[in-house]
């Protein structure tokens, strides 16, 4: 066995004894370092002292060309950095050759959104006037019409509607308040629910929370999630594609596609920075590209 191979065995022992990593992380680190060893072996590198920054950079390029996800490449680099630290500590490598090599930037996945047609299909499928139907439709209209987080929806109180119900005052993350316009459809659904449906659910313990379960309790996040999935199934939409947060994404994405200002969307969503809201521009670009590919005769 070469010295490089022996040093890997020694490193894997330190993972178990010294670093306090989970079993899964230990296994992943060991696998990543052994794959790095295979790369070095192909280049006839058998001594730890022969590992250079250039070799490490080349290996990361190889992983990228193999289309390894940025998250996988980042973990591989973390494992190799840990291995190199071990080599330096053991006197097998003079300096940390991984110093200055930055971790691959992890790409944020694009938010999942429904088309406007599917969104309207989901909401309009609730067309009965039972207390539950009026409540569920009002929930969908508010989630889609105001872009609320599900936790914000569950915490909504009657007093949060201001200016004759045309505005909604939300206390979001970091206890920051924001004002969101209530559109005509959402306003109508809420008014009908409050007048004709909420009294059916309300109990003494209900206080002034808006949306109530059949027991008169405030909704949990899981309860809202379950209701939306059931409504999706009932109108033929794949339930795995729908969640409260998807409706929030739909709110932002559909606003943007109709020309809304990104700063205004940021304010309504309650994002601390514009960078978070910027992701919806990529959703819109993806939609435009899809339309072009589908309809342009030369695409």
Contact 147, 252 (CB under 8 A): yes
Phi, psi of 207 (to 5 degrees): 50, -140
The C-alpha angle 227, 230, 233, rounded to 5 degrees, equals 150
Contact 104, 74 (CB under 8 A): yes
173 is catalytic: yes
149 is catalytic: yes
245 is catalytic: yes
Catalytically annotated residue among 173, 214, 221, 263:
173
For residue 79, the surrounding DSSP H or E stretch is: helix 70-89
Catalytically annotated residue among 137, 248, 249, 254:
248
37 is catalytic: no
Whole-number Cα distances in Å, 193 to 132, 208, 226: 9, 14, 20
If phi over 0 gives left and psi between -120 and 50 gives alpha, with beta otherwise, what is residue 170?
beta
What's 171's DSSP letter?
Answer: E
Catalytically annotated residue among 73, 198, 249, 271:
271
Rounded CA-CA distance 268/264 in Å is 6
Catalytically annotated residue among 75, 86, 135, 149:
149
Catalytically annotated residue among 29, 59, 144, 280:
280
Contact 248, 279 (CB under 8 A): no
280 is catalytic: yes
Rounded CA-CA distance 33/81 in Å is 10
Catalytically annotated residue among 81, 188, 245, 287:
245
Residues serving a catalytic function are 149, 173, 245, 248, 271, 280
């Amino acid at each position: 066995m070469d010295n490089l191979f022996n040093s890997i065995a020694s490193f894997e022992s330190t993972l178990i004894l010294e670093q306090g990593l989970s079993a899964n992380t230990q296994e992943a680190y060991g696998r990543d370092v052994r794959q790095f060893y295979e790369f070095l072996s192909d280049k006839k590198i058998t001594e730890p002292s022969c590992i250079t920054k250039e070799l490490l950079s080349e290996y990361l390029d190889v992983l990228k060309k193999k289309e390894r996800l940025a998250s996988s490449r980042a973990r591989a680099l973390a494992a190799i950095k840990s291995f190199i630290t071990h080599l330096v500590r053991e006197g097998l490598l003079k300096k940390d050759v991984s110093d200055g090599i930055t971790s691959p930037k992890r790409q944020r996945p694009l938010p999942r959104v429904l088309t406007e047609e599917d969104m309207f299909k989901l909401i309009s499928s609730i067309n009965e006037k039972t207390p539950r139907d009026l409540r569920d439709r009002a929930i969908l209209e508010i989630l889609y019409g105001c872009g609320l987080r599900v936790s914000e929806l569950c915490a909504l109180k009657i007093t949060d509607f201001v200016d004759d119900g045309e505005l909604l005052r939300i206390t979001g993350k970091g206890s920051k308040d924001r004002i969101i316009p209530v559109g005509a459809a959402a306003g109508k659904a809420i008014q009908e629910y409050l007048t004709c449906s909420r009294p059916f659910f309300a109990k003494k313990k209900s206080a002034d929370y808006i949306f109530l379960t059949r027991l008169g309790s405030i909704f949990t996040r899981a309860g809202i999630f379950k209701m939306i999935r059931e409504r999706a199934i009932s109108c033929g939409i794949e339930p795995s594609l729908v969640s409260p947060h998807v409706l929030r994404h739909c709110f932002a994405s559909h606003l943007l596609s109709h020309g809304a200002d990104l700063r205004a969307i940021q304010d309504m969503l309650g994002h601390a920075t514009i960078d978070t809201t910027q992701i919806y521009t990529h959703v819109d670009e993806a939609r435009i590209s899809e339309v072009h590919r589908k309809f342009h005769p030369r695409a």
